[in-house]
Amino acid sequence: MFLLIAAILLIILSLPIFFYYKSEAEEREIAIKKCIDACTEAMISGIDLTNGPCLLDPIPDLRDWVCDVAHNPRHKEIDDLPENQCSSFGREAKHFVEVDITCKFIRAH
């Protein structure tokens, strides 16, 4: 009986950890989708993406994420310019999503 109660308590106490990691993975997927959508909207609107602009700084409803356009492979002379990077990354935002100039997903971190 004691082991059963201990096992149930362990499961109950582990649930918040499980949901935390699940929500972090879900947040990443939402950030990727919002970034691709913002890029597609910018491209349809005729915004020039060749300089690798920051599109969402931060991503709405995901204050810890930014959305940036980059070249794939990376063009350091363009992609590393401060004006082409999201200013809140590394300060308020800890994560980023990068898409290329055709709005294809590159990476998220």
pLDDT in tens, 6-16: 556 556 665 55
Using the predicted structure, report yes or no on whether residue 33 has a pLDDT greater than 80.
yes
- Residue 95 pLDDT exceeds 80: yes
- Mention every residue, 6+ apart, whose C-beta is less than 8 A from residue 15: none
Render pLDDT for 54-90 as a digit per residue (tens, 0 to 9): 999 999 999 999 999 999 998 888 888 888 889 999 8
Mean of all residue pLDDT scores within the chain: 86
Beta strands in the chain (DSSP E): 54-56, 65-69, 95-99, 105-108
User: Between 79 and 30, where is the model more confident?
Assistant: 30
Burial class of 20 by CB neighbour count within 10 A (0 to 12, 13 to 18, 19+): exposed
Q: What is the pLDDT of residue 85?
A: 87
